[in-house]
Amino acid sequence: MRAVAVVIPAHDEEELIGRCLASVTRALARAREREPDLRTTVVVVLDACADGTAEQARRWPVETIEIAARSVGTARRLGVAHALSLVGAPPTDTWIAMTDADTVVPAEWVTHQLDLMDAGLDLILGTVRPDFADLSARHAAYWRATHHRGRPPGNVHGANLGVRADAYSRAGGIPDLREHEDVALVRALRSLGGREIASDVHEVETSGRFSGRTPGGYAGFLRHVHALIDAAPVVAPGS
């Protein structure tokens, strides 16, 4: 029997966490339809939340733990530890799927990762698409022109990251970092020769906001790209 542990850090996400958990619940249900004996758990780590995030999260079939670290690395690390204590499956048969509270995952999010787990992968780097409703038309057009399905760039996103539990443990787990904790984990796994793949089959949609919950992160990346696009001259068609 194998298991899937989904871990979601959250800091003041009362407006967005509901749609995140709805999508994760749907993805896990799809996986259990295909694999009835699959053990699943979802752990939401409420990190220094001062709004209604906790109340919104507890509307869903998830486990919640509360911390006051203000550190996404700490939140992910504690969430993974708690999730693994619940699933009760061997590390070699347990898959850890990570996403963020402002993210919506597709219905095949879990099943695709399990297929890759069956293929012998230790690490999956999934792609992330911003919510175009949050972007300017010019920014959205730029994103579409520079991101082509079937050619995942292999960027590291905590909003769409999967790892086998035994490989996670060998790499020392997620470090206590306020940002780029996902990059640190991947770097450690690579140093150990972990088998990885980049895939956009289970691409997620995350909020396109420019002010994120960490100084950098995906929001910082979008803010930087937007500034470059805004500074570039507009070229008229045919000129």
- Which residues share a beta bridge with 130? 206
The residue ranking higher by pLDDT, 230 or 114, is 114
**Domain presence at residue 186:** yes
- pTM exceeds 0.75 for this model: yes
pLDDT tier for residue 200 given thresholds of 50, 70 and 90: very high
Domain containing 158 — which CATH number? 3.90.550.10
Residue 157 Cα distances to 127, 153, 161, angstroms:
7, 11, 6
Residue 214 has a CB neighbour count (10 Å cut-off) of 20
What the block records as the tokens of 130 is 């911003």
**Domain presence at residue 141:** no
**Domain presence at residue 222:** no
**Domain presence at residue 146:** no
Closest of 121, 86, 134 to residue 193, by C-alpha: 121
Q: What is the total count of domains within the chain?
A: 1
Beta carbons of 25 and 104 less than 8 angstroms apart = no
- Averaged pLDDT for residues 124-148: 86
Rounded distance between C-alpha atoms, residue 234 and residue 162, angstroms: 39
- Which residues share a beta bridge with 214? none
Q: Domain range holding 32?
A: 3-130+151-208
**Domain presence at residue 195:** yes
- Averaged pLDDT for residues 222-229: 53
Closest of 124, 44, 31 to residue 79, by C-alpha: 44
Closest of 42, 48, 78, 79 to residue 63, by C-alpha: 42
Helix, strand or coil, per DSSP, at residue 11: coil
**Domain presence at residue 36:** yes
Element (H, E) at 68: none
pLDDT tier for residue 238 given thresholds of 50, 70 and 90: very low
**Domain presence at residue 111:** yes
- Averaged pLDDT for residues 181-201: 97
